[in-house]
Amino acid sequence: MTKEELKNRTKLYALSVARLVLKLPYNIVNKNYSDQCNRSASSTAANYRAALRAKSTADFINKFKIVEEELDESIFFLEMIEEINPSLKNEIEVLYKEGNEILSIIVASLNTLRRNQTQTKK
């Protein structure tokens, strides 16, 4: 997957989460969980874009770690939203799966970057 493809995929993930949030019935729990989920999903996409503009490998790794954290947080809040809104389980599971797939790509990339950085220092 190219950088542009992953940039697009993180953006589509954020938009899909936003569309889910718009469908949730209004109550205090949905409001809180959906706000957090929407922020972290959009932060995933924004921070990935920022990582692509990193000034060094170390800067890139640091920004990429933020992407990992934000994405993991959005997955957690999707789980919480599903618990409160079981009627949306199928739709949420699609987002959950996509989030985990992107997270796997990010983690694998981080591991490769760290390994390469360690080998370069030797």
Residue 122 CA to residue 120 CA, distance in Å, equals 6
Cβ–Cβ < 8 Å for 34, 83: no
Angle (deg, nearest 10), helices 3-23 and 28-52: 170
CATH of 3-121, one of 2.40.30.170, 1.20.1440.60, 3.40.50.300, 2.60.40.420: 1.20.1440.60
pLDDT tens digits along 50-88:
999 999 988 999 999 999 999 999 999 999 999 999 999
pLDDT tens digits along 24-45:
999 999 999 999 999 999 999 9
pLDDT of residue 116: 81
Q: Report the Cα 71 to chain-centroid distance in Å.
A: 3
Res 99 pLDDT > 80:
yes
Average pLDDT, the chain: 95
